Amino acid sequence: MAPVALIYCAAGNPIFARAALAAGWLYGARLPDWYDRNLPLYFADQDWRAPNRAAYMIALARVRPNMATVLDLEYPEQGAEVLSWAKEAAEYVERVVIVPKVSGVIDSLPRSVGGAAVVLGFSVPTSYGGTEVPVWEFQGWPVHLLGGSPQAQRRLSRYLNVISLDGSMMQQQAMRGRFWSRQSSPRYRSCWWQLSEAGDLRTEGVPLECFRRSLGAVHSLWNSEQP
């Protein structure tokens, strides 16, 4: 399996961002929101619920990340508008991520636009959002996984050509004193462990330690031969 780019995308916490980079992850942020400009930004996302094209493109022109999402493709008639966003974004990035959220539109999409490669974004269903497009419509395309749990993302890799992924669930759980492990917790029967379950009874620095453990476990998940 080719290496998958793992992206920490929760730019409001510079301490966690630096921990992610130290663990071999890349940095992502929703633009034009705040992010740590002292760190290299690999991936840019935009607010799909309240898109602001002008502000987003200005930010892309300034930052020039490797890849960036554009307006979500939520209904067939929106195709021309989404491709217009993609063509403008292509001036500043190497890869444009188009996020189809309606069935039957993927076959009409180009493989490249404005000199940038097109990657399809699969929005992993969560309470925040998600796509209802069947996974088989994404087959044959390079795919970026947007959000979701580590185990849900890994399951999708059985069916999709995943080249990159992002998410902030590890941070959300770390703030609750939990970390992700490839082994199920004996107490909760889930992959999310309380730090005390692992024999670590510290009372200081719990969120950061949980986050670091999750980073390492997910990195191992995607970089080992074990399925």
**What secondary structure letter does DSSP report for 127?**
S
Whether residue 185 has pLDDT greater than 90: no
List pLDDT tens digits, range 211-220.
Answer: 999 999 999 9
Q: Which stretches of 90-168 are DSSP H helices?
A: 150-156
Domains and CATH numbers, the chain: 5-167 (3.20.20), 169-227 (no CATH)
Confidence label for 109 from pLDDT (cuts 50, 70 and 90)? very high
Q: What is the pLDDT of residue 183?
A: 81
What pLDDT, in 10s, does the model give residues 42-85? 999 998 889 999 999 999 999 999 999 999 999 999 999 999 99
At a CB cut-off of 8 Å and minimum separation 6, what does 172 contact?
A: none
From residue 65, give the alpha-carbon distance in Å to each of 16, 42, 185: 20, 5, 37
Report the phi/psi class of residue 93: left, alpha or beta, with left for phi > 0 and alpha for psi in -120 to 50. beta
Vertex 96 angle, CA 145 and 155, to 5°: 15
Q: Which residues contact 130 (CB under 8 A, 6 or more apart)?
A: 123, 124, 147, 148
